[in-house]
Structure 1
């Protein structure tokens, strides 16, 4: 509407037409408001500031969900004049949400607010769980009034909606409008006024009284794009609201609702590509939080991998299923969130870990842990199907949940209340599922189920449980069971691999495994030896296992999360938390042990070969290494012990040795170790101390295959063990390498390549 006929009583207007920069103009007062954003400071990456996007008219402002907000200084004329209460208020704004908040503590995600609910003062327009929305006001006289959107009028994600809220104190009405039409109203006492929320700031995108998580993260912050926010000190009529809506449609969009291209609203990894600690050839979400990757599946020439994801920020909260796709297990593309909590009785509170398999027609299906806090237990096993049969989309972007849970835990079925992370596979006889749980009064367990039709499941009892008295570090609950066929040993016996992740009191949260046999009749596992083994001997940096049999190559491939090892404060500043580990091929060796190696496809990332030599002394090798620096490298190294008791390589070294990380092997103790006592000078980083574990190498040379990727350090030793750790050097010149030993070893061979980003 033009100012002449429609903007009478306009108190505030943000057009968000700047398109760049860290401030936005409130055009009535001509005040420039600062836009808060974590990337205004950019502690670890290049400065980028807040993100601007295409709006309904000109540009709009993208709010990241955890750090973007606007504080506007309030003037007298914007409160009704001095201490005079507002007898009328209208708010109009174009809203394109990217994600919804969980609704923690019942609080609204604020679009715009200046309120104090405890004192019953001010006003609040905001979103709630699953897209419902509300306008709330505190009235003079001490009453708090709320008007909510009716069912069916939720604000859709990734789409523009025009939202209006009207408070008419004289007329005694509160109204909501969606896309120009009234959808809800409630009566007020005639002559009502909004009580002045004195001492309270006007905030856009942030709740005046947001909940605090981990002492750092403000919840109830808006995620998505806002445009054309107007606030009036009068009650707009229905005709004015409709005219305002149609003016935008007619003036710039040919009478149609404006669209939001996915590229405009999706999480953007670009600001993080220059983060000096963020891995560039490990799979990661575009931004914000992930925990375990899971549900790998191969279909129609592409690998799909999903992951636990909070799209609102780099903190654990309101978990969705993120989604990547790849043709080679190395170069991944970001796809839209595959599964999100919805307004239903299946999984309103979280889409937690699971797995993928194929249905009777060979189409991929997802099994997930459905989070429903109104149920007991709040975890059940659920199913989602791809829309591929209808749309033929090879990226499998769309998934439809089966409306009911498939497996619900009953008393006597494992440790009641802990029942999650289904691992499902199919063979010629049907479908089988393992679910992570425990035994009441005992230790962790994987529970077994079978089905003939993938929908109706029969409980078969415990698949495997270990002796918690003998192995207390295996804990009371197991998560993320993974079961893979390893083929036949030298005697022709079929062997299998079982992986679990123990949690709970006394648990050492690492990835433990057994090799053994399958008793298919009883659907149980018989380990070759009772004591579990570790794949990785780093300290809590190789966790959250998932796995698949690759139909393309027949390999068993394991995926993990590489935990970030940072404080919440640093994750806030960085804008991301965690990434995936490199995909590993696991197999049964001739000697009966489990072999592990990164997938061969990673060689496609090799750039320039920086160094290659054979049979050098320690001094000669280190002289050659002076020419090599980098934080994205692949290193292959074979060391002959000689007289050395300890032998290894320093990585991420500063020229003066002030910062360095030492990977080494102790021959006397048969231990693979990392020393991080000098990794960083940054006082807030956690990477400290010496970690490692057992690795028997009787009479063998030490063969290390090392991947450096900014903060990631992975060392694979003799195809038997890995050591995954994290490093966050404070100095930008921590890029050097040095072979280290306490005797006179022989460097049998060494090759180093630059590695390329997958993004």
Structure 2
């Protein structure tokens, strides 16, 4: 029979068996502690309780990694003088979901009441890559730490039982993992722990967390916590083992507790009612993303990856998130594909890259490996799918090659800026472009070739800019993409080169050139020196990636749709950014680049709300009065007549107090958006007038508009897009109104409701 744990000296105990609600009972004092959680009093979505999950016994509390924590009030000497104790033990079950980077050497706290500067209190928490530690402040001004040794890191998405013991009388600290001792440290006999006077005890948040962007508290726990006990005595090795074994025998039939991925994964459910979060654009379940990248088609499915921080809606500790789709429209969330690990390859971040096929036709990922202990701290690395070994149809499992494949050397571009490999394969081998620059000359894409995908030869700059002529192209390029466009009318084979400039003076947009690939020299010759913009929405359409669709031969581009919100709004919302709609690009007969949303998006159409032909502006607006929505598809053709400026107002309140105007300026040949009345919310920053050149050459204005909550995408005449954002303060900002500064004719207008993909 399993020994029942001895709870003598139990000072505090949270069973976390509530399973619902926004408080947790500390059963020794019978105090019910509030659970802090961003959506307890939500501003943009429906308020909801903190997330509870199945625990090791009953339920457990899920900590989201950036907003969830418990503050248990201090009950001690009211004078503020520290009390001392000769022993302290902690026992807790934890299942981490993600790890932090470990800024300033601080721990993501599981439980703590400490002040390191004053050498008081205690802290049990995680560090980088699952390392964990117990720290105490001792009488006399000493700070002691005991870290779990290598090989005893806490695995993600699994239950682990931790015991941390301070025994001042015997002069030792000990750590136990799953009932077994893994570390000990000697202290002077008779040591006493100095309590951190006047401080609350925090669960899930560090007492002295660093602040990021003046908003986000770092060093918070991400995952599930259950069965947390604190004793005023030192547990023996036998007691630690018995507590572990008792839980296994009493609740799990003697086996280790199982935790299924679906029980701990990021949950998008609380965000589905967010009045600003797009519902038919691809997005992570929650938290942060930046550019989607590495699209690839394999075994009947499209895969798309994205830069992701699973710990919260802020830029930090970047992983590769992963989606899969049958049609590039309806996506499924998959587990993180690549994460920083305790290795020599990429411990500090898994940055952007691309996907291609190996010699057997299996998918491989090329990524930027972040290693701050190396110089430079960026290199090109590879991960292989284990599809061929375990029949993994969703390509969930990836194994990194242990060494970088391409390491930047002096003279190979701007040293220290070397990232975002774009790799493709043809009958002659593999080729790669890497984003960088040329010192004193501007941004550049560097070219490499390989016969076996593993050994690479530097071929020199593929293409570089003259920063003197085009200063907005910046000193560094990121995310180079090369796509074949086929032959023009003269039979000349053309390619499309995309780049994203960064650095001092750079305009962070997606610039492109149409030109010819010189495969012998592995270089690019543009048709014209000056770059063009795909999108004129000003920093909302960025982070390009691309692929040739093997099913249809189309050239598809994916982008990030920047959220353009202050950090506080992203904190309150629980998410940051989403993907833009996939677009198909092609070479038009007139030599210009054609741009269209993919036709599969029509599968999202719901009810048709309006269809009209050849109406005056007034007639069309009369028919529009009953059409409202923030998830719509609109196709509109307007003939200028006497008007010089004309277009459509979207996300409009009935009184026009809030509205966003998309319009064309005929005299300046500009596609524009006026957001001066977009929102009255004092915390949002969207505003002003943005736009860019669009030469219609006598054509009517043809707009294809997608509204998806805060997202507004307008495709004009198959030539340009304008992507922007709107965060109205009023819930009735759902109306539409056509607008012109003169007489104009509405040649056609069709509107559909659009359905969520989630």
**TM-score, normalisation: structure 2:** 0.99
| Equivalent in the alignment of 2:73 | 73
1:34 pairs with 2:30: no
| Equivalent in the alignment of 2:485 | 486
Deviations for 1:125-158, whole angstroms, at most 9, x for unmatched residues?
0000000100011111111111110110000000
CA distance in 1, matches of 2:490, 2:83: 90
| Equivalent in the alignment of 2:702 | 703
Closer, same or farther in 2 for the Cα pair 1:603/1:4, shift >3 Å? closer
CA distance in 1, matches of 2:722, 2:242: 64
CA distance in 1, matches of 2:741, 2:691: 19
Deviations for 1:186-213, whole angstroms, at most 9, x for unmatched residues?
1110011101211222100000110100
| Equivalent in the alignment of 1:15 | 15
| Equivalent in the alignment of 1:723 | 722
Deviations for 1:485-509, whole angstroms, at most 9, x for unmatched residues?
0000011110000000000011000
Cα contact 2:4–2:246 (8 A) shared by 1: no
List aligned pairs for 1:464-503, cutoff 5 A: 464-503=463-502
Closer, same or farther in 2 for the Cα pair 1:140/1:611, shift >3 Å? same
List aligned pairs for 1:162-201, cutoff 5 A: 162-201=161-200
| Equivalent in the alignment of 2:49 | 49
CA distance in 1, matches of 2:722, 2:207: 45
CA distance in 2, matches of 1:683, 1:130: 39
Cα contact 1:414–1:445 (8 A) shared by 2: yes
Q: Secondary structure at the match of 2:39?
A: helix
List aligned pairs for 1:402-481, cutoff 5 A: 402-481=401-480
**Structure 1: which 5+ residue stretches go unaligned?**
none
| Equivalent in the alignment of 1:246 | 245
Deviations for 1:50-81, whole angstroms, at most 9, x for unmatched residues?
1000000000000000000000012239x9x9
The Cα of 1:83 is off from its aligned counterpart by 4.8
The Cα of 1:539 is off from its aligned counterpart by 1.0
Q: Secondary structure at the match of 2:104?
A: helix
CA distance in 2, matches of 1:739, 1:4: 74
The Cα of 1:48 is off from its aligned counterpart by 1.0
Deviations for 1:585-637, whole angstroms, at most 9, x for unmatched residues?
00000111000000000000000000001000000000000010000000000
1:614 pairs with 2:613: yes
1:741 pairs with 2:740: yes
Deviations for 1:522-562, whole angstroms, at most 9, x for unmatched residues?
00000000000000000100000000001011000000000
The Cα of 1:314 is off from its aligned counterpart by 0.4
Cα contact 1:97–1:223 (8 A) shared by 2: yes
| Equivalent in the alignment of 2:516 | 517
CA distance in 2, matches of 1:84, 1:361: 67
List aligned pairs for 1:287-686, cutoff 5 A: 287-686=286-685
Deviations for 1:219-265, whole angstroms, at most 9, x for unmatched residues?
00000000000000000111111111111101111111101111110
1:265 pairs with 2:264: yes
The Cα of 1:2 is off from its aligned counterpart by 11
**Aligned pairs, number:** 757
CA distance in 2, matches of 1:57, 1:75: 28
Q: Secondary structure at the match of 2:194?
A: coil
CA distance in 2, matches of 1:219, 1:331: 34
Cα contact 2:66–2:311 (8 A) shared by 1: yes
Deviations for 1:263-287, whole angstroms, at most 9, x for unmatched residues?
1100000000000000000000000
CA distance in 2, matches of 1:442, 1:5: 70
Runs of 4+ in 1 over 6 A off after TM superposition: 1-5
The Cα of 1:673 is off from its aligned counterpart by 0.1
Closer, same or farther in 2 for the Cα pair 1:740/1:2, shift >3 Å? farther
Q: Secondary structure at the match of 1:50?
A: coil
Q: Secondary structure at the match of 1:38?
A: coil
Deviations for 1:135-184, whole angstroms, at most 9, x for unmatched residues?
01111111111111011000000000000001011011100000000011
| Equivalent in the alignment of 2:711 | 712
**Structure 2: which 5+ residue stretches go unaligned?**
none
CA distance in 1, matches of 2:29, 2:411: 67
Q: Secondary structure at the match of 1:264?
A: helix
Q: Secondary structure at the match of 1:130?
A: helix
| Equivalent in the alignment of 1:6 | 6
The Cα of 1:3 is off from its aligned counterpart by 12
The Cα of 1:84 is off from its aligned counterpart by 3.7
